[in-house]
Amino acid sequence: MYSATCEAYLESLAEKQEGVISAEASYVTETIRVEHDPDTVSKESLRDVLSTLGYTAYLREDASSDVSETGGTTRRAREMGGIRKRRDDQLLGMRYSVGFLFGAFLLVPYVAIIYPAHLASIFDWQALEIFEGAFRLDSEGAFVFLRLYFVMTGIILLFTGLPVLRGAYLSLKMRRPNTDLLVAITAISAYTYSTAAVILGQNDIFYDLAIVVTAAVTAMVFYESSIKQRALDRLTELTISQVERARTYDSDGKTEEVRVEDLNSGDVVLVRQGERVPVDGELVEDSCTVDEAIVTGESLPVLKRAGNEIIGGSIVTDGAALVRVGTDVTSSIDRITTAVWDLQSATHGVQRHADQLASYAVLLVVGAAVAIGGASVIAFDMSIPDAILLALLVLLAGSPWALGLATPLSVAKSLASALRRGIIIFDETVFERLRDIDTVVFDKTGTLTTGEMEVIEADAPADLLDAVAALEQRASHPAANAITTAFAHRNATDQGLDDQSNSDNNGNETEKTGQISEFTNHQSGIEGVIDGTPYLVGNLDLFAEQGWTVDDDIRSRVADARGFGQLSVVVGRDGTAEGLIVVGDEPRDGWDDTISRLGARDTDIVVLTGDDEEATDFFKQHEAVTHVFAKVPPEGKTATIRRLKSDGQVAMIGDGTNDAPALAAADLGISLGGGTALAADAADIAIVDNDIRSVETAFDLAGAARRRVKQNNLLAFSYNGIALLALAVGFFNPLSAAIAVIAGGGLVAVNTRRKLLQ
């Protein structure tokens, strides 16, 4: 699907079928969702009905199967769309090539004979009379000429121009005139007029206009489509969120790999460290730490104990998990994916500005042609054939077909400019929607922050940090890996350490540690004994629970460390807290300037996160931030976006699978490059790197794109200005038409080549 006209046509086609309740199509995502009674009409029947006029419909599950066979993931049906689009582009390229080759051949006589002949007749140049004499259509040669050009131009018009003719046909059928109709009016009028002129022995033949218009517009459509394909190819799979196979675990401890769809309720699956949990379930025994950020948006890993719920799609970051499959054998990511599909298929595109101009231009031009043709018969007693030719000339000179050239060229330039800046935009409507945004919603974790836990600050004696790092290697609480990574290398051998080496949670060998004689894993921290000295690591509640002393200075620093999802870890020994380690998710470079500048555009800024309220205190104090919503689950994010949409146009910026439904629900979704493929699939804009400043660049591009489109649309009318002037003074012929085409197309091309952003 290429336009809003495609949406309307396919929806009407589906809704005419018995048993269909409703249909919603989206040319942005090239999907149509049909609600129907399966007892009356099957999915396969609907698929066949919708496969018409060059459209090829396929079921969503078939798309997933095809993608799997081509080496992609079963999750991304957009990849299947990309494969099919590439095939369509190849066919479009072949159509353009045929038009170019045949057209170049047919234009040689025009350049060599016909144009000079018209030049001689206009200026009465004797030097060119030889061309005028060679070009006469009152002999048998005229019919040879007619047969050649009638057939060859017809081939170009029907084969090369078929996509445009289809668009024109649909616009008439749906009563929604568009630029395709303007192009078709010009090309068909030129073809019809020329055929009639040859038969009548006249030498004003505009086959060249039909050829140039058809080939040029098809070339620009092909160029625009190729830029979109480049954007699609640039976007790679960053994270595979769904699991296709699971490892079952029986009572004898034996494991067997099976497909996830073959799992049954009550089965026990083994998930090793670093693996993704295939389905929702319950932890059977022991404990482990899981990263649920991809589903919940929570930036900190979560400690799970026997009996706790495990979310499908989360990653086991420490230990191993035996998960009993729940009653509903699905994962949270499966449900999120379904939600994204449902939201995307209900997202209509918007009509191009040029199509809106076309709706007025068609009525004006056709009305003028009919009026002038009729008036010439009634008022000037002109013959019917001559009146028809005059009306066709009015269509040739008055139809602003160059809008069909300017629009795809402007779009392609805008998309290419974005692509060079690492901003992937899938369709031209994004720029229009981006300019109308009233509210920008930022996810916190992974968007305003890097999404990676690390030690931000450590204020404690060096030997205490070394001991803490040794203990953390055995821990499973959220900050363990960050602390181990930061301090394990400091376990120097000159601190009375034994000869036993250890590995950190990443599997990297660390320096030697002191002898750990006792170790206890608490829900909010750890404690242990090294070389006879007791140590305690955790939050203030754990220190209070164990009766350890914490001075007011440390308590104050814990309170000050709030913000950005930071976790304060108090460390101590021998019953006294001696220091503090702050572990957190670092802010992304440029986040402050981006929010401030977007806010300066008279845009409301909203921060949305699954983290608790403490992690959002920092944003509440930012002068550009209008609202902050904390502890919001994925479904809550979607609901929040819908509430915000009631007050205006909303853009959502996120990176994780948990953000995907909200990205799809927003009027415009933007995903960062470090995010998951599902998030990118749900978004309208994908930023391939992790530079949040590209968000503001996208807004700048949208404004520049609108200015360029308006300029090119205005320049496109230069063809009509020259052609109508020539018609008014009686000199509208193939030569003047060619000059008008070169002027109009050339001005548009030159203007398009200018840089979009300085």
| DSSP structure string for 14-61 | HHTSTTEEEEEEETTTTEEEEEE-TTTS-HHHHHHHH--TT-----HH
Assess whether 445 and 593 both reside in one domain.
yes
Q: How far apart are CA 543 and CA 300, in angstroms?
A: 21
Q: Which of 537, 554, 586 is the last residue of a domain?
A: 586
Between these two residues, 75 and 387, which has the higher pLDDT value? 387
User: Looking at the domain assignment, is residue 616 inside a domain?
Assistant: yes
User: Looking at the domain assignment, is residue 239 inside a domain?
Assistant: no
Instruction: Find which of 250-264, 401-415, 583-597, 638-652 is predicted with most confidence, using mean pLDDT.
Output: 638-652
CATH assignment at residue 695: 3.40.50.1000
673-693 per-position pLDDT tens digit: 655 555 666 677 888 777 899
- For 335, other C-beta atoms within 10 Å of its C-beta total 18
Q: Which amino acid is residue 171, in one-letter code?
A: S
User: Looking at the domain assignment, is residue 623 inside a domain?
Assistant: yes
Among left, alpha and beta (phi > 0; psi -120 to 50; other), residue 212 is alpha
Residues 6+ apart with CB under 8 A from 516: 470, 471, 474, 528, 529, 530
Q: What integer pLDDT is reported at residue 73 of this predicted model?
A: 34
Between these two residues, 605 and 493, which has the higher pLDDT value? 605
Assess whether 464 and 577 both reside in one domain.
yes
Mean pLDDT, range 246-260, rounded to an integer: 83
User: Looking at the domain assignment, is residue 33 inside a domain?
Assistant: no
Of 296-305, 318-327, 659-668, the one with minimum mean pLDDT is 296-305
Between helices 140-155 and 207-234, what is the axis angle to 10°? 20
User: Looking at the domain assignment, is residue 232 inside a domain?
Assistant: no
Assess whether 552 and 620 both reside in one domain.
no
Assess whether 468 and 544 both reside in one domain.
yes
In the chain, the number of structural domains is 3
Mean pLDDT, range 413-432, rounded to an integer: 82
Q: What integer pLDDT is reported at residue 331 of this predicted model?
A: 59
Assess whether 503 and 610 both reside in one domain.
no
- The pTM (predicted TM-score) of the whole model is 0.69
CATH assignment at residue 302: 2.70.150.10
Assess whether 627 and 560 both reside in one domain.
no
Closest CA to 288 of 478, 517, 542, 471: 478
Beta pairing, strands 268-271 & 302-305: unpaired
Assess whether 603 and 667 both reside in one domain.
yes
Assess whether 424 and 461 both reside in one domain.
no
User: Looking at the domain assignment, is residue 399 inside a domain?
Assistant: no
Q: Which of 531, 563, 586 is the last residue of a domain?
A: 586
Mean pLDDT, range 542-561, rounded to an integer: 89
User: Looking at the domain assignment, is residue 395 inside a domain?
Assistant: no
Written as six digits, the tokens of 234 are: 């640039």
Of 134-138, 169-173, 591-595, 637-641, the one with minimum mean pLDDT is 134-138
202-215 per-position pLDDT tens digit: 778 899 999 999 99
User: Looking at the domain assignment, is residue 527 inside a domain?
Assistant: yes
Assess whether 284 and 302 both reside in one domain.
yes
CATH assignment at residue 576: 3.40.1110.10
Assess whether 545 and 692 both reside in one domain.
no
Q: What integer pLDDT is reported at residue 139 of this predicted model?
A: 55
The residue written with tokens 């005419």 in the block is 16
- Counting residues of the chain whose pLDDT is more than 70, the rounded percentage is 79
Written as six digits, the tokens of 246 are: 């699971």
Core vs surface per residue 598-613: b (16+ CB within 10 A) or e: bbeeebbbbbbbbbee
Assess whether 648 and 577 both reside in one domain.
no
Mean pLDDT (the chain, rounded)? 80
When computed from its CA atoms, the radius of gyration of the chain, rounded to whole angstroms, is 34
Assess whether 304 and 259 both reside in one domain.
yes
The answer to whether 444 touches 607, Cβ cutoff 8 Å, is yes
Of 193-197, 495-499, 656-660, the one with minimum mean pLDDT is 495-499
Q: Which of 705, 721, 737 is the last residue of a domain?
A: 705
Domain span holding position 577? 452-586
